[in-house]
Amino acid sequence: MAGWLPPTGGDERIVVVAAPIPTDAESAVNVSALIELIDRRLRTKDAGAGLFVSVGYPDDLPHSVATAESALKIVNKGNPPLRVAAFVDFAALGKAKTGELALVGAGTGTAWRELAERIAARHLRLNITLEDDPAIVNELTLKPSAEVPVIALGAPRVVLRPLGDADDDDVVRSHQVDATAAALDGVFDIVNHKIDIQFQRYDAAAAKAAASAASRPYLGTIPEYKGDGTGVKLTGVRDGSPAQKAGLQANDLIVQLGGKSIKTVEEYLQALEVLKAGEETTVVIKRDGNEQTFKITPAAKH
């Protein structure tokens, strides 16, 4: 723990910031510089929610929410309990070297996109990108029961611009300073109640299905995204869809599609991707314990 600021005015919320210990002491986002910037802002801003800064090496940061919750019980002993309203990870800020700032984990909170828009409006030199899935950042790996909106601010997944001669150092540092300022603006928008973020559970399978729906043939099935590995259960089929015309119904368990065995939603999506609109194929289902085979002709997605 590097420090914490209790909330004011009866607020019960704490925003946890996980700050990395970088290997480069001259980094624009080293811990001492970051704490100094936060302290400077606290002197000029009327903060509502509290702020807890947890410092550690990147591999330790996934535990920052649990660490913060434990530490808060100690430092706040005797006062009303506090809750972690948001977890903001700065581990990748030092890698923001190309004028881009990614917000990773936007699918875990109702207003992370709004926060990105606020940051973009104030930092025109930065290219702001969003990633919904928190799983692509190790530092955001939380126990499933931790219902806390999480976001990582830093470099996008792929840094395309190679670094060359020493003249690039000033450019890189300038980008890091811009990214750090933007990240802190985001934190203080939460702390100062300019944005209210509520937790929402990110369903990677459902998100993948939605993202690929427009690029694959349409069957009109409504699958359950949580299964037991024995097939894909349907919660229903859409009116007038190929699935309904073929005779599929709610509670059918798809076990084969297009000749491919289906045990999970991921396998079902993979099988869908190779189908062609207008070309008849077969789907095998289990209904009331009996296996049945139907012919189905995928339609083009409109």
User: Are 56 and 133 part of one and the same domain?
Assistant: yes
Asked which of 148, 165, 191 is the last residue of a domain, the reply is: 191
- The reported pLDDT for the residue numbered 16 is 85
Asked which of 151, 169, 191 is the last residue of a domain, the reply is: 191
User: Are 59 and 179 part of one and the same domain?
Assistant: yes
User: Are 170 and 27 part of one and the same domain?
Assistant: yes
For residue 268, the domain's CATH number is 2.30.42.10
User: Are 117 and 247 part of one and the same domain?
Assistant: no
User: Are 291 and 223 part of one and the same domain?
Assistant: yes
- The reported pLDDT for the residue numbered 73 is 72
- Which domain, by its residues, includes 261? 204-296
User: Are 239 and 291 part of one and the same domain?
Assistant: yes
Residue type, 204: A
- Spans of the chain below 70 pLDDT: 1-2, 21-33, 43-47, 56-69, 72, 75, 78, 96-97, 138-146, 156-169, 209-216, 301-302
- The reported pLDDT for the residue numbered 109 is 92
Q: What is the pLDDT of residues 47-66, one digit of tens each?
A: 677 888 777 665 555 556 66
For 56, other C-beta atoms within 10 Å of its C-beta total 20
User: Are 146 and 240 part of one and the same domain?
Assistant: no
Asked if residue 7 belongs to a domain, the reply is: yes
Asked if residue 266 belongs to a domain, the reply is: yes
Asked if residue 301 belongs to a domain, the reply is: no
User: Are 221 and 149 part of one and the same domain?
Assistant: no
Asked if residue 168 belongs to a domain, the reply is: yes
- The reported pLDDT for the residue numbered 277 is 85
Asked if residue 46 belongs to a domain, the reply is: yes
Asked if residue 199 belongs to a domain, the reply is: no
User: Are 237 and 92 part of one and the same domain?
Assistant: no
- The reported pLDDT for the residue numbered 282 is 96
pTM greater than 0.75 (yes/no): no
Asked if residue 210 belongs to a domain, the reply is: yes
- The reported pLDDT for the residue numbered 273 is 84
User: Are 183 and 250 part of one and the same domain?
Assistant: no
Residue type, 13: R
Domain count, the chain: 2
For residue 107, the domain's CATH number is 3.40.630.10
- The reported pLDDT for the residue numbered 138 is 64
User: Are 175 and 221 part of one and the same domain?
Assistant: no
Q: What is the pLDDT of residues 188-204, one digit of tens each?
A: 899 888 888 999 988 87
Asked which of 142, 170, 191 is the last residue of a domain, the reply is: 191
Asked if residue 39 belongs to a domain, the reply is: yes
Q: What are the tokens at 261?
A: 């065995």
User: Are 116 and 258 part of one and the same domain?
Assistant: no
